[in-house]
Amino acid sequence: MNRGAWLLERGERGNPATRLDGRRPGGAAWTSGNEVRPLVHGATYFAELLAGIRALRAGDLLLFTDWRGDPDERLDGPGTEIGTVLCRAAERGVLVKGLLWRSHLDGLHFSQEENRRFGEQIARAGGECLLDMRVRPGGSHHQKLVVLRHRDRPLLDVAYVGGIDLCHNRNDDAAHRGDRQSLPLASAYGPHPPWHDVQLALRGPVVGDVEAVFRERWEDPAPLSRSPLTRLRERLADEDVSADPLPPQAPDPPPCGPHTVQLLRTYPNRLLRGYPFAPDGERSIARGYVKALARARSLVYLEDQYLWSPRVVAGFARALRSHPALRMIAVVPTVPEQDGWLTLPMNLIGRINALAELRAAAGDRVAVYGLENRAGTPVYVHAKVCVIDDIWACAGSDNVNLRSWTHDSELSCAVLDETPDPRPPAGGARVFARDLRLELMREHLDLGTGTGPGSGSGSGDGSGVPEAGAELCDPVAAFEAFAAAARALDAWYAEGCRGPRPPGRLRRYVPQELPPVRRFLARPLHRALVDPDGRPLGMRLRRTF
């Protein structure tokens, strides 16, 4: 297949300073010969990560970045707290290195204290975990990656990239009863918020690319924080503020699968002194989406935490206007994570405006849904996944909003499969992208897990989809199946929950109405605080990424 038609060519990344596109002969902007598996749900990811860390030996390498880390979060039952697991690895001679966002003050309900405790615990065991505040004002480091390199067993090398943090709330499974170690969200989610999320397991040469992303940040010579108060606290607390040198990067693992992977990132135009690996920032996530959406013809399937900002959904709207047969399905949280008098409208206004843009472009060809578990509790959709025409699939840490596409640090993987999917309709469909979409759809429709790539039992040839979900291969049938399931569940509630509960977990998403005064107050706060723009001024004026 023509990879350059879907992926960014080297010059299209817009950041010649990064080492990513210069690591391979010929300057290829992606790696081929990889094996990619989606790990749907935190419980699936955590169990695999635990086994992988426990298998590391002295001299092996473990690298990670995260937005938030809770050292007491259990990966798989008592005794598997992530802090304990990482410390035991360091104690047996594994080189453990981490970068955690320093965060803002805990009084603002972020994670400064938790991240500091996490770093201190790892340091006592012989590892090193730095609190990184090298961000744009009001920004965060939002990348979530783990790299496991084996000194003399490169076939075992693996990297994990996606939306799942090593923290509370994330350890949920397909039943969506919530993580027993929970942080509060809006009251509608209850004491243990149900959580839907996706991580990718990557093997093959792409592992070297993920490691290179970590090394670029680790080797940044800029101070970890510019704040005089923070630097004073660092000195008083005797914090480690200097990254120790890493050993030379090992050769990339050998090819092992049919998947081409391109790492896409966001770094902001950092004021005064930019990143040495991205002096004017990087917006390859935005550029990757814009390029892929221009080729969309049948179905865009999206799962996203936010889906904000008309400036970001403009690419989706343009594709929908250009192609009358194109449909779009979006799965989003039914209720924003915060429900305060001011924080609720600040979160709602961006989605209200974005959905208005999409509706104006395509009317009822755009369908938006929320999820709930079997008890009727809303499921918080934290996944960041997009599948276009069952060809291009993307998953990572970024959301569809201006903050993720321009302002915070983000990391995502665009995946193209060399294996054509034999199931009709063909239309160029590939096994990985189609199986990922079907696995997610089957769960939301209560059709079972099937044998897709994240279930661990798939044949890899696209032939193992159970008959109950085979019709979902057709984008029109899939669009109608979601609509019918949501219609039935909405009607069951409207009729007082009489009779058996219909199958499926989908509810039609209807945004709350905001009174004019709250809209007026929310709009500038949303743009300044919730969904800021991290582009250089010239790009803002040209409305490009």
In this predicted structure, what is the pLDDT of residue 111? Answer: 56
CATH of domain 282-530: 3.30.870.10
pTM above 0.85, yes or no: yes
In this predicted structure, what is the pLDDT of residue 120? Answer: 87
Chain center to CA of 96 = 23
Question: Tokens in use for 457?
Answer: 């039992």
Nearest to 264 by CA among 278, 249, 243: 278
In this predicted structure, what is the pLDDT of residue 235? Answer: 75
Buried/exposed 154-185: b ≥16 CB within 10 Å, e otherwise = eeebbbbbbbbbbbbbbbbbeebbbbebbbeb
Question: Tokens in use for 477?
Answer: 């049938």
Contact predicate 138/147, CB 8 Å: no
pLDDT tens-digit profile, the chain (545 residues) = 899 999 999 899 999 999 999 898 888 899 999 999 999 999 999 999 999 999 999 999 999 999 999 999 999 999 999 999 999 999 999 999 999 998 755 444 445 677 778 888 999 999 999 999 999 999 999 999 999 999 999 999 999 999 999 999 999 999 999 999 999 999 999 999 999 999 999 999 999 999 999 999 999 999 998 877 777 776 767 777 899 999 999 999 999 999 999 999 999 998 888 999 999 999 999 999 999 999 999 999 999 999 999 999 999 999 999 999 999 999 999 999 988 887 888 889 999 999 999 999 999 999 999 999 999 999 999 999 999 999 999 999 999 999 999 999 999 999 999 999 999 998 899 999 999 999 999 999 999 754 444 443 333 444 444 456 889 999 999 999 999 999 999 999 999 999 999 999 999 999 888 888 888 889 999 999 999 999 999 999 999 99
Nearest to 62 by CA among 89, 96, 90: 96
In this predicted structure, what is the pLDDT of residue 324? Answer: 97
**CATH homologous superfamily for the domain 30-227:** Endonuclease Chain A (3.30.870.10)
Judge if the upstream peptide bond of residue 425 is cis by omega within 30 degrees of 0: yes
Question: Tokens in use for 83?
Answer: 């802090």
Question: Tokens in use for 475?
Answer: 């984008």
Q: Please give the backbone phi and psi of residue 112, each rounded to the nearest 5 degrees, phi first.
A: -60, -50
524: exposed, middle or buried (C-beta count within 10 Å: 0-12, 13-18, 19+)?
Answer: exposed
Contact predicate 478/441, CB 8 Å: yes
Domains 30-227 and 282-530 share a fold: yes
Q: Which string of DSSP letters, residue by residue, matches 350-394?
A: HHHHHHHHHHHHHGGGEEEEEEE-TTSPEEEE---EEEETTTEEE
* Domain map (residue ranges) of the chain: 30-227, 282-530
Question: Tokens in use for 468?
Answer: 């109950």
CA-to-CA distance for 436 and 421, rounded, in angstroms? Answer: 12
Residues in contact with 279: Cβ distance below 8 Å, sequence separation at least 6, in sequence order: 17
